[in-house]
Homo-oligomer: A and B are copies of this chain.
């Protein structure tokens, strides 16, 4: 009885998150998720390519935020300032969806398989940023390094933000960028 197709997908997602929260990712079977959502296991795999992907449904927006941030930066801006601006633009949506991020981080911390998927998504996103920077005129080599480093700074900032409850993300981002600048400049290697 296909009401709209999207309803089933949402029921599946809710069922999965509920069960994962209650018993952990590994102790839940896809059949159970489907049963709680009122559909068949087969239908689960019609909406999600695999069991882990249910957790990353909200992360699709992250890609959109990144793309939107990139297009909003004036053309002609150099790669590194562009990346810095993109990170700043990502702060508001990330703060607004902290709950989702925390939930995913909690499950990932307890589930290697989920951790792997998260790491792969991150790597993929870095590649996407590098491609878009290149499309904006940056040298490919430079774009890749900027994307890696800039995202690394953001990821680091998010990490310390998560470990400091009650704080805002932006200061962590600023501190991380400042720290990076100080490191690369400060202790000048003699070689």
Contacts and interface: CB of A to CB of B under 8 A. Distances in A.
A124 to B, nearest CB: 9
- Determine the interface band of chain A, counting residues with CB < 8 A from chain B: 35 or more
A155 interface: yes
A123 B105 CA distance: 14
Given A116-B119, A152-B149, A155-B148, A142 B84 contact: no
A160 interface: yes
Contacts of A116: 116-117, 119-120
Contacts of A120: 112, 115-116, 119-120
A146 B116 CA distance: 22
A184 B80 contact: yes
A97 to B, nearest CB: 22
A187 B84 CA distance: 11
Nearest to A83: B183
A153 interface: yes
Interface string A151-191: 01101100110000000000000001001110111110100
A178 B142 CA distance: 11
Contacts of A115: 120, 123
A156 B152 contact: no
A31 interface: no
B144 A159 contact: yes
Interface string A104-127: 000000001001110110110000
Given A116-B116, A144-B159, A185 B183 contact: no
A133 to B, nearest CB: 12
Contact of A184 (B119, B142, B180): B180
9 smallest beta-carbon distances between A and B, as pairs: A119-B119, A116-B120, A148-B152, A80-B183, A78-B187, A116-B116, A119-B123, A119-B120, A184-B184
